[in-house]
Structure 1
């Protein structure tokens, strides 16, 4: 069985079959179907969507107030809707589900297609390490504020800038080779297109989807990218606390302050200023339920939570104590994920304003 399990507590949302309400579920992609579970630890799925004869639609515009939605329509004309927590996750699911459907049609076993092979990247190239070097504040690719077509793009850069950097750092011998590397980064979700020109390049189906021209804009997937238009109808209002770069995002269990119950919340961690915002993952990222100012906070792993019912706690707990001594208790899916969150939040609390 091919499993595609996100490293967060939930990775897609599906509407309930009776009331058409949206619920958080854990999703697994197998050779011939999409299974969904109430919790990651459950041994039996709540249901399964067969992929034979299915059609996938992405992006799905059936819900005007929801983003990152894709639709899976079965051979029996039943529609199932999923909402990912962020863009890279949706694109990853869409690519692999489409691949699984194609494999079923051709009578071959499903296996994730290698971006590396499709663009002939050498095995010695580590795209994750390359991305870390590109994100280095001193020696990496410089993020800029660029103006194109009556819009201002913040925290972005051109495709040519990426190519120049790869050559200057001896990561590529020439521009065609640098474009292949940049395309690998784009296909794996490390880079994202910004603006019509770069998006058309991605949709064009060329071997190199990163364009080496001044009008093709891109941004880092975990940056604080946002776009502002000149028209009053298109202006993007960004509060000061949302202007920081996105350091980490994903879903965690959070204990409520009043009722002490646990609910899945999507968290987005930003620095400069140091904030972590949390959202109801069934309602998108437009309006946060709350925010935690992390400057001067203390973040530690804990083994138990006061006033918590034992069956509500699966472990992997950690606590954030803010500078005004407000306590927040959170649960991660795994110990590794807990350590990653603690490390990231601790760094932001020390360096962010």
Structure 2
């Protein structure tokens, strides 16, 4: 099964601009698509003879240097996601060198899960807002882990919901979810367990942190001198994060920006994914109006391709954004609308 995710591709052959693309890792190459729904890729990077450098010292990017001496740069939405990509890409390159076929490991075969176990259904139940595993903001070693939970919590939930008869069965199921990518390790301890051997090891501990693969997980550092985050507007829980195209206010050009949405106070911050952790700007969402649009005033026709939406703040500032897919646009609009109504 190929590894699929969306990254940023800055390496336009003519212009060094960043673009959001959908990337598929196969057994012998990296294919990238303009949209997730596209049937054919825009291009393909062969992995035979390639080397992988991560983190890349230039802008902190990940780089693939192919056998044809061409450099390709990629940026993940956050560090944890980058590390998972690096791990799978290195395995694919190693398999090519050894003449083996790369494929993600089958958890069912490796840990002998019963045939009746459906990990996708189990994951859906775990994410249920009312009856699933609760996502929390946890502190550990001067860091704040948003939207995560402990390994012990997962084991307790599996047993309490009668998905497992005992701790051993619960650990088997949790390991299956981890190996299949439904759960991801968040802290240093859980990462060590995930990388400890041929198969990942899930830790039944209160200090081992994990998060849902498609959640709004994000890790933030504390000030070395204070026990509070540096700015009030960064105190809120991270509701959603990801990359969108944003239209500039002056030149009206479109650039890829990483967006982080927080709920209380209600802010969305946007960043240049090639430059550090300092935001380029913020949008105070309290009282804002968020709607889908099909047209952007003053935009060049070839700059836009659907999936647009607009944020109008309480002081009448207009922001035009573009998502990669219609479904992603719907998710962003829903999340921002909820925060604009409930946050301060």
The two structures have a TM-score, normalised by structure 1, of: 0.77
Counterpart of 1:34 in structure 2 is 30
Q: Secondary structure at the match of 1:180?
A: helix
Distance change >3 Å, CA 270–CA 153, structure 1 → 2: closer
Using the alignment, how far apart are the partners of 1:207 and 1:29 within structure 2? 20
Counterpart of 2:252 in structure 1 is 260
Match of 1:338 among 304, 314, 329: 329
Q: Secondary structure at the match of 2:255?
A: strand
Distance change >3 Å, CA 94–CA 323, structure 1 → 2: same
Deviations 1:173-229 (CA, angstroms, capped at 9, x unpaired): 221221122223334445443444323222211645111134433345535654666
Using the alignment, how far apart are the partners of 1:5 and 1:201 within structure 2? 23
1:53 aligns with 2:44: no
Counterpart of 2:270 in structure 1 is 278
Distance change >3 Å, CA 162–CA 235, structure 1 → 2: same
Match of 1:72 among 54, 64, 67: 64
Counterpart of 2:304 in structure 1 is 313
Match of 1:63 among 39, 57, 62: 57
TM-aligned CA deviation for residue 230 of structure 1: 8.8
Using the alignment, how far apart are the partners of 2:9 and 2:279 within structure 1? 18
CA contact (8 A) 1:13 1:23 kept: yes
Match of 1:217 among 190, 209, 218: 209
CA contact (8 A) 2:183 2:211 kept: yes
Using the alignment, how far apart are the partners of 1:146 and 1:302 within structure 2? 38
CA contact (8 A) 1:224 1:245 kept: no
Equivalenced residue count is: 339
Match of 2:93 among 78, 88, 101: 101
Counterpart of 2:314 in structure 1 is 323
Q: Alignment RMSD, CA only? A: 3.8
CA contact (8 A) 1:262 1:312 kept: yes
Q: Secondary structure at the match of 1:263?
A: strand
CA contact (8 A) 1:228 1:235 kept: no
Q: Secondary structure at the match of 2:295?
A: coil
CA contact (8 A) 1:272 1:352 kept: yes
Question: Which stretch has the larger CA shift, 131-140 or 261-270?
Answer: 131-140
For structure 1, which runs of at least 5 residues remain unmatched after alignment?
none
TM-aligned CA deviation for residue 164 of structure 1: 0.7
Using the alignment, how far apart are the partners of 2:2 and 2:156 within structure 1? 38
TM-aligned CA deviation for residue 261 of structure 1: 1.6
